[in-house]
């Protein structure tokens, strides 16, 4: 990174000093910027402001007034009203860097502020935050989905690098699909594993995590290295009878999970067939076992 691309040392304000906002604010402080104000409503946010950011709570307009870089770290559905509210109050936004952390939103959500002279950035950390003390350590080496006007791209990328991350440029129009890919992998994985753990407990497995951990670790390593070629199990083997037994067992034990299993098995068969891992006749038998042909 050239010296000319490095953002000057900035005063930073955090609107939404929750799990994400407090961690990124602390990362910016570690990079040499100065957190001067923050806002947040929950008890946890109040604690993180003190412990991670070293500030006391302020009103949002005070945060904006005090900072050169304003970090907007609020839930996706809250972000539009926050930005429009700031613009409606006549807050002094000209020349201020407005950085939101939403994965799903691009730059248009910042339009009311941009029209008043704010500089828009979308920097989404590709990481899950729990509010634990190790959140800040998780930031080292992660990717950020970065979107900004072309003229501001070097500054956006420099901020990410300063926080120890890797900037990955995401076109504005692609932000919803980008976020769907991340949420589908990470969030739905949690649901699937929790469901598997519950099913194992139901049949008497005392420590499902011990059973699942090595299996899931190997499966994750396989797919990250090999893609769909790392697929194993009854679908890619074309074991239609086994898959049908799975569905029947789930219908009896956990009918709410059966539909999800069928949908994922069909998608798995579709991808395996397209990759040449599954023969067409095996795919047909699988789809019959799953209740219909999705390729007609």
Judged against a pLDDT cut of 70, whether residue 292 lies above it is answered with: no
Strands 119-125 and 143-147: antiparallel
User: 139, 170, 201: which is the final residue of a domain?
Assistant: 170
User: Rg (Cα) of the chain, in Å, rounded?
Assistant: 23
- Given pLDDT bands bounded at 50, 70 and 90, which one contains residue 294? very low
Both tokens assigned to 87 = 């613009």
Q: What is the pLDDT of residues 171-208, one digit of tens each?
A: 999 999 999 999 999 999 999 999 999 999 999 999 99
- pLDDT, average across residues 106-135: 95
Cβ neighbors of 171 (< 8 A, separation 6 or more) are: 147
As a whole number of angstroms, the distance between CA 17 and CA 31 comes to: 18
Residues 150 and 222 in one domain: no
Residue 8: pLDDT above 80?
Answer: no
Q: Residue 63 maps to which CATH number?
A: 3.40.50.720
Kindly report the length of the chain.
296
Distant-in-sequence, close-in-space partners of 181: CB < 8 Å, separation ≥ 6: none
What distances in angstroms separate CA 183 from CA 165, 180, 267, one per listed residue? 19, 5, 17
Q: Which of 170, 187, 203 is the last residue of a domain?
A: 170
Check whether residue 21 and residue 139 sit in a common domain. yes
Tell me the per-residue pLDDT of 239-261, one tens digit each, with 9 for 90 and over: 999 999 999 999 999 999 999 99
| Domain span including residue 239 | 177-290
- Indicate the residue among 170, 205, 235 that finishes a domain: 170
280: how many CB neighbours lie within 10 A of its CB? Answer: 9
Average confidence (pLDDT) over 151-174: 97
Q: Are 222 and 268 in contact (CB under 8 A)?
A: no
Residue 4 falls within a domain, yes or no? no
With H, G, I as helix, E, B as strand and everything else as coil, classify residue 127.
coil
Q: Do the beta carbons of residue 121 and residue 158 sit within 8 Å?
A: no
């Amino acid at each position: 990174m050239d010296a000319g691309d490095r953002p000057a040392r900035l005063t930073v304000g955090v609107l939404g000093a929750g799990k994400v906002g407090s961690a990124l604010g602390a990362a910016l402080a570690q990079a040499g910027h100065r957190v001067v104000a923050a806002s947040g409503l929950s008890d946890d946010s109040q604690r993180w402001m003190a412990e991670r950011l070293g500030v006391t709570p302020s009103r949002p307009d005070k945060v904006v007034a005090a900072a050169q870089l304003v970090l907007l770290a609020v839930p996706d559905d809250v972000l539009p009203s926050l930005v429009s509210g700031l613009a409606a109050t006549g807050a002094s936004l000209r020349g201020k860097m407005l950085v939101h952390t939403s994965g799903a939103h691009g730059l248009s959500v910042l339009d009311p502020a941009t029209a008043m002279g704010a500089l828009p950035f979308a920097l989404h950390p590709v990481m899950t935050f729990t509010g634990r003390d190790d959140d800040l350590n998780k930031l080292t080496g992660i990717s950020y989905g970065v979107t900004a006007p072309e003229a501001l791209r070097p500054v956006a990328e420099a901020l990410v690098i300063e926080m120890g991350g890797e900037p990955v440029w995401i076109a504005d129009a692609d932000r919803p699909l980008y976020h769907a890919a991340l949420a589908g992998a990470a969030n739905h994985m949690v649901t699937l594993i929790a469901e598997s753990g519950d099913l194992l407990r139901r049949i008497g497995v005392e420590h499902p995590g011990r059973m699942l951990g090595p299996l899931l670790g190997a499966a994750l390593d396989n797919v990250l290295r090999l893609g769909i070629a790392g697929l194993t199990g009854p679908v890619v083997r074309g074991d239609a009878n086994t898959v049908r037994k799975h569905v029947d067992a789930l219908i009896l034990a956990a009918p709410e999970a059966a539909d999800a299993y069928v949908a994922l098995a069909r998608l798995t068969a579709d991808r395996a067939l397209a990759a040449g891992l599954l023969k067409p006749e095996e795919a047909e038998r699988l789809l019959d076992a799953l209740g219909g042909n999705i390729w007609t």
